[in-house]
Amino acid sequence: MRVDYRRPPIVTDADRQWSLDQQPPGWDAAAPRLPWAQHVAEQIDAFESYFAEDRKPPEEWSGLWRRVWWPKADPAIKHPRDCPPGDWPVARRGDAVWPQVLNVLDSAERRVAERFGAVQLRPTDPRSEILKGGRCA
């Protein structure tokens, strides 16, 4: 007789704790209306209800949770007003760094920046160092 170890999706305590440990620094102070534990609980509920009809071994559920579901679980999508502001540097027309920012942009980026009066670069972009003197969104 063969034992079937497949079961419905369950986020284990280890996976739940791992998710709680992914909390960005200063989250609860910056986002008091959306505690990190609440975000994790909502994602667990959504995960388990989305895959309710599937059957997999526990290891596969853990891998699916950590490598597929959790990286896409952006709280800013579901709760945009309750999340702390991002750390992407921003410069707006009138800021002291505005002329310097326009000088490092290529022509297409410069046209967009001049049209909208704002520039936002990824934190990993080397040009974002110029924006450190500007404001952050």
Q: Tens digit of pLDDT for each residue in 62-113?
A: 999 999 999 999 887 888 777 766 677 788 888 888 898 899 999 999 999 9
Q: Considering only CA atoms, which of 4, 2, 3, 1 is closest in space to residue 55? A: 4
Q: Considering only CA atoms, which of 29, 28, 30, 18 is closest in space to residue 86? A: 30
pTM: 0.61
Orientation angle between helical segments 13-20 and 36-50, nearest 10 degrees: 140
For residues 69 and 43, is the Cβ–Cβ distance under 8 A? yes
Contacts of 26 (CB under 8 A, 6+ apart): 84
Complete DSSP assignment for 27-87? HHHH-TTS-HHHHHHHHHHHHHHHTTT--B-HHHHHHHIIIIIGGG--HHHH-TTTSPPP-
Residue showing tokens 């950590």: 66
Q: Tens digit of pLDDT for each residue in 121-131?
A: 877 788 888 77
What is the per-residue pLDDT for 92?
Answer: 85
Q: What is the overall mean pLDDT for the chain?
A: 83
Give me the mean pLDDT over the 33-47 stretch: 92
> Does residue 6 surpass a pLDDT of 80?
no
> Does residue 132 surpass a pLDDT of 80?
no
- Coil, strand, or helix at residue 93? coil
Scored b (16 or more CB within 10 A) or e, 16-40 reads: bebbeeeeeeebeeebeebebeebb
What is the per-residue pLDDT for 4?
Answer: 59
What is the per-residue pLDDT for 42?
Answer: 94
